[in-house]
Amino acid sequence: MAFTVEMVRLSLEKLNVLIEEKREYLTDLDSAIGDADHGINMNRGMKHIIEKIRGKEYSDFGGIFRDAAMTIMSAVGGSAGPLFGTFFMKIGQKLIGKSEVSIEELAVAMQDGLDGIMFLGRSGVGDKTMIDAIAPAVEALRENSSDGDSAAWNKAVIAAELGMKGTIPMLSRRGRSSYLGERSIGHQDPGATTSYYLISCFRDASVEG
């Protein structure tokens, strides 16, 4: 089954609902190592995205990802808005002019998004950021694309969850949490948590779509 533009819309709608449900949890995670505003900011950003895309027709991935990117960049302050916005923007740019793609093609586009995050944040795997959830998910999606969409997505979600949980024992090297030094150890990164939710919503939309 191909991944379609409408699956992107459904993914974002699901993420909006999930972030609303997990807002307090994300805020608690961020209160331990950040500004205690990640849940609130992402909740606001997702609501603005849904308001932007609801009822709007999109002929290709470029349009919907561009709208999502620009909206979250303007609605969410700090690092989350620019980083998630860059991820969406790079995916859209890679898939401009296409209305459906294979899982392998989507994984390649998501790698572009990941590269954009790493460049903007000057971060990599192991720095205790959203990258630690997205990078293994993209790798799993790409490596398992020949096993069928459902299997590939399930492995990507598992990889994202392991990456998210893997941030708990890490020492933060980027962002506000890096100022805490060793006190950042023992806390799950909120950006990685939101990224895990995003990958899960992509999977759920793909299965339902």
State how many domains the chain has.
1
Structural domain containing residue 177: 3-208
Confirm if 158 and 140 have CB atoms less than 8 A apart. Answer: yes
Q: How far apart are CA 95 and CA 76, in angstroms?
A: 24
- The CATH number of the domain holding residue 56 is 1.25.40.340
Q: How sure is the predictor about 64, in pLDDT bands with cuts at 50, 70 and 90?
A: very high
| Sequence-separated (6 or more) residues with CB below 8 Å from residue 96 | 60, 61, 62
Q: Flag whether pLDDT at 179 surpasses 60.
A: no
Which of 109-113, 168-172, 205-209 is predicted least confidently? Answer: 205-209
Q: Please give, one letter per residue, the 3-state secondary structure of the chain.
A: CCEEHHHHHHHHHHHHHHHHHHHHHHHHHHHHHCCCCHHHHHHHHHHHHHHHHCCCCCCCHHHHHHHHHHHHHHHCCCCHHHHHHHHHHHHHHHCCCCCEECHHHHHHHHHHHHHHHHHHHCCCCCCCCCHHHHHHHHHHHHHCHHHCHHHHHHHHHHHHHHHHHHCCCCCCCCCHHHHHHHHHCCCCCHHHHHHHHHHHHHHHHHHHC
Work out whether the CA dihedral 11, 162, 143, 66 comes out positive or negative. Answer: positive
Of 159, 144, 90, 157, nearest to 118 by C-alpha is 90
CB atoms within 10 A of CB 120: 15
CB atoms within 10 A of CB 67: 18
Q: Which amino acid is at 150?
A: S
Enter the pTM of the model: 0.95
Mean of per-residue pLDDT scores for the chain: 93
Residue 91 has pLDDT above 80, yes or no: yes
pLDDT band of residue 32 (cuts 50, 70, 90) is confident
The whole-number average pLDDT for the span 63-91 is 95
pLDDT at 12: 98
pLDDT digits over 114-157, tens only?
Answer: 999 999 999 999 999 999 999 999 999 999 998 888 999 999 99
